[in-house]
Amino acid sequence: MRKQIAAANWKMNKSLSEGKDLLAEILNSDLSIGQNQEVIFAVPFPYLMETQSMIGGKSGMFISAQNCHHKTAGAYTGEVSVDMLSSIGIQYCIIGHSERREYFAETNSMLLEKVNLCLAKNITPIFCCGEPLQIRESGTQNEYVAVQLNESLFQLDADQIQKIVIAYEPIWAIGTGKTATAEQAQEMHAHLRNVLSARYGMEIASKISILYGGSVKGNNASELFSQPDVDGGLVGGASLIASEFVQIINALKK
């Protein structure tokens, strides 16, 4: 079975003490993490090493950066390079989150550079894709996400693409009052896997974990994760509430 992943994206939230309390509450909860499951904490840059220390090599748990710069080094004040992340043992990095694309004008070609840098340092990219409301309403969402994969990932070879985790974000269903159903999530995840299959073959496509990033909560995680092509979630707001995130972790496929 593909890796089933619950990834917490804290975004720009929590002080250090608040973050430590949250993480401690999660770690002290009744968690059931199977051999095919992973729990990833994407915390703000200043908390990476503290979070790593708290997790302390616990089985099935990993730390992720929320972003990296697309250049190796240089006069980029305030930015963080892949080399820096690698030097402190970070194993995952979120690439191309919808907020990075929207607020920081990150392009597909820029994201390709980030993906390549991460892979070169054995950091697994969690590559985000997804369509905004106007694209969903026009009915061109399948073509839209296929372009995102094609321009940022499809220069990778067969071995490299298997090291990628993909996260689908239905941007139109986040903060708009609209709701994506489990069936809509499955439909897009199946499409993404078919796009991967057309490029790399179904044997390889079937090994790639595809996470759902559309307002996963404790009360909808089981339904979402029960879909055959949904391999867990990239969780925002609910990951900031220990009881919610524990429920999400325990909803992963066994």
CATH of the domain at 51: 3.20.20.70
Tokens of 117: 């840098």
3-state secondary structure of 66: coil
Residue 170: φ, ψ to 5°: -75, 85
Show which residues are catalytic. Answer: 97, 169
Tokens of 232: 């867990």
Task: Round to whole Å and give the CA distance between 6 and 234.
Answer: 6
Domain membership of residue 190 as a residue range = 4-250
The 10 Å CB-count burial string (b at 16+, else e) for 152-180 is bbeebeeeebeebbbbbbbbbbbeeeeeb
So what's the pLDDT on residue 57? 81
The string of pLDDT tens digits covering residues 38-62 is 999 999 999 999 999 999 889 999 9
Task: Round to whole Å and give the CA distance between 247 and 235.
Answer: 12
* Cα 97 from chain centroid (whole Å): 8
The string of pLDDT tens digits covering residues 58-112 is 999 999 999 999 999 999 999 999 999 999 999 999 999 999 999 999 999 999 9
Task: Round to whole Å and give the CA distance between 16 and 13.
Answer: 10
CA-based nearest residue to 111, from 128, 91, 130: 128
Please answer whether residues 79 and 111 qualify as being in contact, where contact means their C-beta atoms are separated by less than 8 angstroms. Answer: no
The string of pLDDT tens digits covering residues 159-214 is 999 999 999 999 988 766 666 899 999 999 999 999 999 999 999 999 999 999 98
Number of domains in the chain: 1
CA count, 13 A, side-chain hemisphere, 31: 25
Task: Round to whole Å and give the CA distance between 83 and 177.
Answer: 40
CA-based nearest residue to 144, from 176, 104, 98: 98
